[in-house]
Amino acid sequence: MDSLDVIEEIIAKFTKHKITLAVAESCTGGYISSMITNVSGASNVFERGIVCYSNSSKMDLLNINPDYLIQFGAVSEIVAKHLANNIRILSNVNIGIGVTGIAGPTGGTPEKPVGLVYIGFSTEKETIVKKYQFQADRINFKKAVLNEVLAFLQNLEF
């Protein structure tokens, strides 16, 4: 099953249960939002996607505490957690997703290598963050992140 088929299933399930979502994307640059909106019916469930590529956009648009960016860096569990939680609250949706990582091929360090990504998932009950390390070029990195987001949404129980 390809990504668009999975998205179609998610949209049908979310529409049936009146579940809405919003996405705050850094390293994926709008790819997740674009893929969701490629499927008819997305407007029933998809409220918004914000590309917050720079640190200033994370602070200005999503109220990320500048101290987190200084202390932990943009690519960190705490920033992903707050991206997901804040997009959910600011958008008044059921599910918020926050993505921050290093798509490469440059920008990595020994502590934070290329391919590192944190994906935050926020619901009214809890906010969790999953950490992944992908060995892929930029485009396949974005596809891998999308697949993890879709797997989470597909398996969500409500």
pLDDT tens for each residue of 84-115: 999 999 999 999 999 999 999 999 999 999 99
* C-alpha dihedral (144, 146, 147, 153), degrees to nearest 10: 150
Give per-residue pLDDT as tens, 34-92: 999 999 999 999 999 999 999 999 999 999 999 999 999 999 999 999 999 999 999 99
Domains in the chain with CATH codes: 3-155 (3.90.950.20)
Predicted TM-score (pTM) of this structure: 0.97
For residues 114-141, give the mean pLDDT.
Answer: 97
